[in-house]
């Protein structure tokens, strides 16, 4: 499927300027706090630069479909069992004006057009758009339904807090014995947008409200490698690998030992 150009912004720089202008000002204060429909999502993107690049044809009902593109990483045990290999690559190549594009180019990550999810594996992937969430909206997401029926797992879609700026990196768990192949621009998740209740400092509020809004402090434009480094810290130097393969291999080893032992005992009994 051919992807349309962003209908509202010609560059990330333009989308970011719109976000900076509207991140603390709700341009549609008449819209009540609620799960937004696709028309309202489109209007907020048009003014706030909340999703860039944005493809209008990917709106449906109350969701926006997000596609695969960006930095990916997975870990694999070495054949000799001594340590772990780290595989880092990009699905597709970002335009130069996108955040982290020059950094990834400098790191000379290889560019791929497809992603292979091996059986019983965990792969961390990146999604195409930069999200810039104004301080009155919240995003949630989950896997597209067809991927759930393939046996893939993302888990409950987490909240993307107001103030978040960056790409989404998510772990895809392939819990099956099948290998699945994904390509650049394949549909991965469905995203929903919820408008928060009004608070002091953002439009009109009731005079008797005393609660003070606490802004979420979020580092901007992190990539999947930074997320993994922060999460693992000193707890692990071996990356993230599915325990299913290790358990299966160990079970096979134990089974082979039992067969050998059984044959030895049988031979002794005959003699």
Total Cβ atoms within 10 A of residue 93: 17
pLDDT in tens, 243-267: 555 545 555 555 666 666 667 666 7
pLDDT in tens, 58-90: 999 999 999 999 999 998 887 766 778 889 999
Give 158 or 142, the one with higher predicted confidence: 142
pLDDT of amino acid 82:
72
Rounded Cα distance, 116 and 256, in Å:
30
Rounded Cα distance, 238 and 253, in Å:
22
Rounded Cα distance, 107 and 133, in Å:
28
pLDDT at 214 over 80: no
Residue with tokens 């907020």: 44
pLDDT of amino acid 131:
98
């Amino acid at each position: 499927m051919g992807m349309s150009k962003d209908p509202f912004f010609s560059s990330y720089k333009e989308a970011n300027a719109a976000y900076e202008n509207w991140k603390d000002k709700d341009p549609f204060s008449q819209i009540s706090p609620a799960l937004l429909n696709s028309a309202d999502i489109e209007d907020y993107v048009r003014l706030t630069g909340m999703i860039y690049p944005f493809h209008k044809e990917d709106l449906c009902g109350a969701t926006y479909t997000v596609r695969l593109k960006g930095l990916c990483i997975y870990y694999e045990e070495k054949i000799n069992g001594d340590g772990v290999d780290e595989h880092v690559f990009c699905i597709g190549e970002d335009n130069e004006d996108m955040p982290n594009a020059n950094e990834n180019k400098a790191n000379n990550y290889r560019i791929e057009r497809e992603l292979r999810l091996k059986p019983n594996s965990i792969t961390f992937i990146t999604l195409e758009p930069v999200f810039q969430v104004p301080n009155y909206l919240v995003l949630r997401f989950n896997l597209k339904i067809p991927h759930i029926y393939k046996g893939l797992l993302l888990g409950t879609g987490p909240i993307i807090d107001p103030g978040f700026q960056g790409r989404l990196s998510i772990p895809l768990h392939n819990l099956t014995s099948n290998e699945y192949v994904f390509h650049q621009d394949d549909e991965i998740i469905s995203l929903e947008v919820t408008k928060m209740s009004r608070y002091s400092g953002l439009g009109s509020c009731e005079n008797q409200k005393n609660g003070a809004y606490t802004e979420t402090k979020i580092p901007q434009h992190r990539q999947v490698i930074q997320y993994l480094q922060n999460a693992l810290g000193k707890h692990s130097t071996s990356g993230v690998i599915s325990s299913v393969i290790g358990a299966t291999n160990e079970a096979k080893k134990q089974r082979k030992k039992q067969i050998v032992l059984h044959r030895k005992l049988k031979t002794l009994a005959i003699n």
